[in-house]
Amino acid sequence: MSYKLKIVDLDKLPPAEEFLSPRELKTYEGFKVEKRRREWLGGRYALKNLASGFFIFDIRQIEVLNRTSGQPALGVPCGCNLPVSITHSGDFAAAAIATTGMGIGVDMEVIEPRSHAWMNQSFCPEEISSSAPVFLTELWAKKEAVLKFMGVGLSLDTKDIRFINGHLQFYGRALDLWAKLGSPNVHVDVKDLDGGYKLAVASEAPLL
């Protein structure tokens, strides 16, 4: 496996002072909405806890920064270029760090009914082999994970990233970006989590 993954329960987080840096604490205390504070804190805890296995620094010396693109990045005294990704949904947050390859993307979604309008806006007809919530939730999580892997999030049309018969295919702007990235071999893992969640991780797999 070319990545490390950490999932945390948002109801079981330690006090923020135990793992946030002074700068992160200031950001955390600035959130007005409790739900947003909780999700932000959970994502930071998951990533910092995971990153502490890579560095000898105190967890409060490891910071989670934001790139201009909005992607998270690790900040440590010695510098760091490990690709990272964060997600949260419902009562959980998760983080992933790529140990090899040029990128990583993780997305977690609650399995729930989706509208036909959302389904038609998000997917191409050839992708939709079922309208069951579990199928559509997994398909969406996989797309989100790939978009994060590519470093763009939802700025691309989700229909330009397609999973047809389980195989990932790129079209339009997504195809152009994939080529600019060196046409990496993108592999997507899917995990079923207790409580009715789907989690997808997109990473670069070595060519066989």
**Interval 105-130: pLDDT, tens:** 999 999 999 898 999 999 999 999 99
| pLDDT given at position 207 | 55
- Do residues 55 and 138 share a domain? no
**Polymer length in residues for the chain:** 208
- The domain boundary, picked from 75, 99, 123, lies at 99
Q: Is the pLDDT of residue 42 over 60?
A: yes
Half-sphere exposure of 196 (CA within 13 A, CB side): 7
Inter-CA distances, 79 with 20, 66, 95, Å: 18, 15, 19
Number of domains in the chain: 2
* Rounded CA separation 168/149 (Å): 13
**What's the whole-number mean pLDDT along residues 31-48?**
94
Q: Is the pLDDT of residue 101 over 90?
A: no
- Do residues 85 and 108 share a domain? no
- Do residues 89 and 112 share a domain? no
Average pLDDT, the chain: 91
- Do residues 45 and 117 share a domain? no
- Do residues 8 and 85 share a domain? yes
- Do residues 110 and 205 share a domain? yes
**What's the whole-number mean pLDDT along residues 186-208?**
89
Tokens 């600019």 sit on residue: 180
pLDDT tens digits along 46-98? 999 999 888 888 899 999 988 877 788 888 876 677 899 999 999 999 999 99
Would you list the DSSP string of 9-28? EGGGPPPGGGT--HHHHHHH
- Do residues 53 and 135 share a domain? no
Q: Which helix (H) or strand (E) holds 49?
A: helix 34-51
- Do residues 74 and 164 share a domain? no
Residue 190 sits in a domain of what CATH number? 3.90.470.20
Give the model's confidence band at 153: pLDDT under 50 very low, under 70 low, under 90 confident, else very high: confident
Domain that holds residue 17: 1-99
Give the contacts of 140 (CB within 8 A, at least 6 positions apart).
107, 109, 114, 122
| pLDDT given at position 206 | 65
In terms of pTM, does the model score above 0.75?
A: yes
- Do residues 111 and 25 share a domain? no
Which of 154, 121, 122, 157 minimizes the C-alpha distance to 138? 122
Percentage above 90 pLDDT, the chain: 73
